[in-house]
Copies of this chain bind each other. A is one copy, B any other.
Amino acid sequence: MKGEETRRRIVESALELFSEKSYHDVSMEEIAKKAGLSKGGLFHHFPSKYDLARTVLFTLLDEWLENLTARLEGLSGREKLETLVDAAFELITTSPKLSRFFLELYEESLRLNKTADWDEFYGRYLGSVSSILRDAGARDPEKKALLLGALVDGLALHHLLSGGKLFEVEDMKEEVLRIMEG
């Protein structure tokens, strides 16, 4: 499986680059070079830049969801909720550049009329998260899951735009936790 290995290397290299610079500031040439193959070879594995970026992002999100599930094992309802909110905020705060990448890919999928790409992930996310919220005894867990997603993305955005000066992450986390419990 030479191909699988190369593919992995490409996705990794792309992720590194996308966490450093804007989507539009990363070229396929650059990714190819970093992954140690030719531009043509890169396109052999991914038919388009958007396609590659989408793979990168969804790989990340899937890992996040998996990781979250693992962390919840054996926790109480209340603890589950805290862990969920923690994990959501980690997504924002660990690498600010990465949330930018999220945003950029959102936009790119809008631009290319590929919003359908998100349906499947949304389904998975809502399934997992609303079940966590249900376990934690939250009212209207589906709506809460939606709210959490929107809040996290919105907060990430404003966090980025204000250079982190707009709010204290810990403060906000508490606030969000309160909303989720509500």
19 A-B residue pairs with Cβ-Cβ distance under 8 Å, sorted by A, are A22-B110, A24-B24, A103-B110, A109-B161, A110-B160, A110-B161, A115-B161, A122-B161, A122-B162, A122-B166, A140-B175, A143-B172, A143-B175, A146-B167, A147-B172, A147-B175, A150-B157, A151-B154, A153-B154
Selected contact of A182 from candidates B147, B151, B158, B182, CB within 8 Å: B182
Q: Quick check: is A111 within 8 A (CB to CB) of the other chain?
A: yes
Min CB gap A42→B, angstroms: 16
Q: Of A110, A149, A161, A179, which is in contact with the most chain B CB atoms at under 10 Å from its CB?
A: A161
Q: Quick check: is A80 within 8 A (CB to CB) of the other chain?
A: no
Q: Of A140, A172, A179, which is in contact with the most chain B CB atoms at under 10 Å from its CB?
A: A179
Determine whether the beta carbon of B158 is less than 8 Å from that of A149: yes
Determine whether the beta carbon of B25 is less than 8 Å from that of A111: yes
Selected contact of A154 from candidates B118, B150, B167, B179, CB within 8 Å: B150
Determine whether the beta carbon of A178 is less than 8 Å from that of B167: no
Main secondary structure of the interface of A (DSSP, over half): helix
Bound together, the chains give a CA A74 to CA B160 distance in angstroms of 36
Question: Which chain B residues border A103 with CB–CB below 8 Å?
Answer: 103, 106-107, 110
Q: Quick check: is A104 within 8 A (CB to CB) of the other chain?
A: yes
Question: Which chain B residues border A167 with CB–CB below 8 Å?
Answer: 143, 146
Q: Which residue of the partner chain B has the closest CB to A152?
A: B154
Determine whether the beta carbon of A118 is less than 8 Å from that of B152: no
